[in-house]
Amino acid sequence: MSFGPDFASALAAAKRGDQEAQAHLYRAFQPKVLRYLLAQEPKDGEDLASEVWLGFGAGLDRFEGSESDLLCWIFTIARRRLIDHRRARARRHAVSVSIETLALPSDEFDPSSSLEHGEALSCLGMLPREWAEIVLLRVVAGLDSAEVANVTGRKAGTVRVIQKRALERLAELLSAKHEKAVTQ
C-alpha cells in the first residue's frame, strides 16, 4: 500500500490528530510491521507491534520526511523494540527461541498456513541472525537495500553483499535438502 502524492497531506492530517489519517497510516504499515515481528518473535510479535505504534505516536510530531523515510523510521522503532525485548528476555534468563523453531506449529500460527512458509522460515533460521534479519526486512517488510541499511545502521554496499551471500547460502541449503529427500 502506497500513498503516493497523498502522503504529505495524510501525514500532516495525522499530525493534527485526524483519526482517519492516523488509521490510514496504521493500515498501510501495520501488516509489514506485524509480519516482520511475528517472523522473529511469534509469541510476543503483536505486543511488540503495539509498542512500535506507541513510539510512533510519541514521535509523530517531530517526524519530517517522505513515505520511505516514514517506513524506515517505523522499522527502526520495530527493530529497537525487538532488540530491547531480546535483551530483557536474556536478563530474565529465559530460554532463547531460535528462529528455526518458528516453523514449528504453535497456537500463534494458523494451522492452515502453508507448509512452504514453514519450510521457508526453517531455512531462514539456518542463516546467521543478521543475514536472516536483512532478508526479512527486504522480503517481509518490503524495504529496499538502502532502507535496510538505514534501519540496521549498515552501509548500503554491506547490505547488498550480505543479502547476496544469504541467497547463495539459502540455495545451498535448499539444494542439500532436496538431495536428501531424493536419496531417502
From the CB of 86, what's the least distance to other proteins, in Å?
15
CA–CA gap between residue 35 and residue 137 (Å, rounded): 10
Q: Is 179 in the site for other proteins (CB under 8 A)?
A: no
Q: From the list 50, 66, 98, 101, which residue makes contact with other proteins (rule: CB under 8 A)?
A: 50
Residue 18 has phi, psi (to 5 degrees) of -65, 115
Which residues, 6+ apart, have CB-to-CB distance to 160 below 8 Å? 145
- Return the number of the residue (28 or 79) whose C-beta is nearest other proteins: 28
Q: Is 49 in the site for other proteins (CB under 8 A)?
A: yes
Amino acid sitting at position 58: A
Q: Is 116 in the site for other proteins (CB under 8 A)?
A: yes
Q: Is 150 in the site for other proteins (CB under 8 A)?
A: no
Q: From the list 56, 73, 75, 131, which residue makes contact with other proteins (rule: CB under 8 A)?
A: 56
The answer to whether 8 touches 15, Cβ cutoff 8 Å, is no
- Return the number of the residue (22 or 79) whose C-beta is nearest other proteins: 22
Which residues, 6+ apart, have CB-to-CB distance to 145 below 8 Å? 138, 156, 159, 160, 163
Q: Is 80 exposed, middle or buried (0-12, 13-18, 19+ CB in 10 A)?
A: middle
Name the DSSP class of 65.
S
* Residues that bind other proteins in the complex, under the rule CB under 8 A: 14-17, 19, 22-23, 25-27, 30-31, 34-35, 38-39, 43, 46-47, 49-50, 53-54, 56-58, 60-61, 108-110, 113-114, 116-117, 119-121, 123-124, 135-136, 138-140, 144-145, 160-161, 163-164, 167-168, 170-172, 174-175, 178
